[in-house]
Structure 1
Amino acid sequence: MALAYKLLEDGSGVAVDENGHPIVIDDAEEKEFGLDAIHLYSKIPSLQAEAKKYREERDKYKTKVEALGDLDPNELIEKLKEFEGIDPKAAKEALATVANLDQLDKEKNIEIEKVKAGVAESYNSKIRDLDAAHAKRVQALEESLASKDAAIRHLLIRGAFDRSEFIRDQTVLPPEIAYNTFGKHFKIEDDNGELKVYAIGYDGEKLFSLAKPGEYAPPDEAIELLINQYPQKDSILRTNAGGSNAAGNTAAGAGERAKLAALKAMNPVERLNAIRRQAAR
Structure 2
Amino acid sequence: MKLKLDEQGHVVVQDGKPVYTHEDGKDVAFDAPSAVSKITALNAEAKGHREAKETAEARTKAFEGIEDPEKARAALATVANLDAGQLVQAGKVDEIKQAAIAATEEKFKAQVTTLAEQIKTVTAERDTTTGILYQEKIGGAFGRSKFVTDKIAVPPDMLQNTFGKAFKVEEGRVVAYGDDGNKIYSRARPGELADFDEALEALVERYPYRDNILKGSGANGGGAPNNGGKGGDKKTLPRAAFDALDPAAKADHARNGGLVTD
Structure ranking higher in helix proportion? 1
Higher relative contact order (CA 8 A, sep 6+): 1
- Structure showing greater radius of gyration is 2
